[in-house]
Amino acid sequence: MLTIIEQKDLSAYAELLRDLPIPAGTVLHLTEAKDGDAVKGYIAYSYEPEQVVIYTVADGGDWDQCDGLVRSVLFKAELKGIEQAFFPVEDAAMLERLQKLGFVKNDEKILYPIADIMESCKKCGENQANT
pLDDT tens for 19-49 read 898 999 999 999 999 999 999 999 999 999 9
Q: What is the percent of the chain with per-residue pLDDT over 70, rounded to a whole number? A: 91
pLDDT for 125 beyond 50:
no
Provide the domain limits for residue 126.
Answer: 2-130
- Residue 68 near residue 61, CB atoms below 8 Å: no
Per the structure, the count of domains in the chain is: 1
Q: What is the pLDDT of residue 120?
A: 60
Looking at residue 1, its pLDDT comes to: 78
34 C-beta neighbours (distance < 10 Å), count: 17
pTM: 0.87
Please give the mean pLDDT across all residues of the chain.
Answer: 89
Here the CATH number for the domain that contains residue 59 is 3.40.630.30
Q: Rounded CA gap, 113 and 119, in Å? A: 10
Q: Is 111 helix (H, G, I), strand (E, B) or coil?
A: strand
How far from chain centre, in Å, is Cα 72?
7
